[in-house]
Structure 1
Amino acid sequence: MPNFVKVEVQDGVAVVTFMRAEAANALSVQMLHEINEALEAIHDDRSIRVVIVTGDGEKAFCAGADLKERKGMNEGETRKTIALIGKTMNHFEALAQPVIAAINGVAFGGGLELALACDIRIASNTAKMGLTETALGIIPGAGGTQRLPRLIGIGKAKELIYTARRLTAEEAYQYGMIEHITQPEKLLEQAKELAYEIAKNAPLSLIQAKTAINQGMQTDISTGLQIESLAYSRLLQTEDRIEGLKAFQEKRPPAYRGK
């Protein structure tokens, strides 16, 4: 059985690479299962502080669902696969660690929905992306109708979803869909630079900050502030908090252990 997902870990940063370049890194059922297995292992590994997800090659980050595979499915199998795709996007969002999407090529439909489930997005200047489902008689069904409006605003998101418009990296940046654009050959390097900048900070703080932001964005400001307070309080008795204060007083870099 071929492996469609590669995971490499170095200095606390895990790089997850989709390895189906010949199929535009489309999400086959086997690939979806491999992704979820990899994410489960990463979630439980506290030595991993930041995750980068990218695609093999320069043509495609992820083309979304494997429509060729889906042609051979009956209705029940199709529904099951759609649910698995949604679960996979949620899995990226629910990872304890911050996740950076390094968008190396096309990211249409489910491919863009996957990137939207990540925390930060960096794209090659040759990348193209869009939620193109309405052109195929469906709608974004793996979080796109919910995550895109929260990221760029309702009006802009409606326009992009209703038109099924395909955007260049520059256009996506102008919409606020991605945070950085870079040259193709510098994409992974820049993603790693950002990852290491994040990874040097206290891992438990990163986990609680992500929890506070993600959960707080789903509610009103008053409830969000309570969520923030609870997340903050979980850090008060940690060894890392004490280490951070000591390092500041001693004017040295902190040595965080995730405890």
Structure 2
Amino acid sequence: MNNSTQAPGVTRTDGAGVRPTARTTAEAIAHSIRADIIGGRYESGERLRQVEIAKEYDVSTTPVREAFGLLQRQGLVQLHPQRGASAVVPNKRDLDELYEIRIELECLAVQRAAENFTPEDAVPLRALIERMRACKDAEEHVELNHRFHMGIYRVAQRARLYDMIEQLRASSKAYLQITSGRAVQLPGDFEHEHDDIIDACEANDPSWAARATRDHLRITVRDAKEELDNADTARDRADIRAVL
């Protein structure tokens, strides 16, 4: 049994390779379980049994437990004191509800930020955009993206609004994880949208800032739905193969 937490990757007992570029065994396992959750292997709320998964990857339970922690931060696993870990499966209904609320609150926040914005506020935010352009790691891109948006909303100087948005964005992590791969593969598309938001804020134009933010978030919803549809298609094909 492989107990190392520094291995570059792991292999499932079914022979499938698992993210050989991962920095640790826990990250490799988390990446694989993430794909299984998004791909429909687990039902929403289904228990993820630590011992069984450890056997599947031929590792001790330690990196599996660490993988659950990583996935919890991504919004794809819920950890219960009594029941252990369970899968959080993204779906389009929850996606629509979350972003319906987020769009209104984030547009309000960016309008207030645009009213207060100074050239000095733009400097660290544009640096984050450049880091996102150069970023090749999907999970790091999610974190940089979060820092970018919350950095703008902090300028709004509305503490309650900021906290509400941060809570909603935390609930949206699973959907951001879904679109993060595309963001890394096509950085120009995503970062041009971020440029537009900052340009509007620097121009102290609340209407433009809200429009750019609304467009950006709607594109995120569209991309997340496409990824969910792709997962549904892959699941259907697997079911057909199983029947045949």
Q: Calculate the TM-score normalised by the size of structure 2.
A: 0.25
Q: Larger relative contact order (C-alpha < 8 A, sep ≥ 6)?
A: 2
The structure richer in strand per residue is: 1
Richer in helix (by share): 2
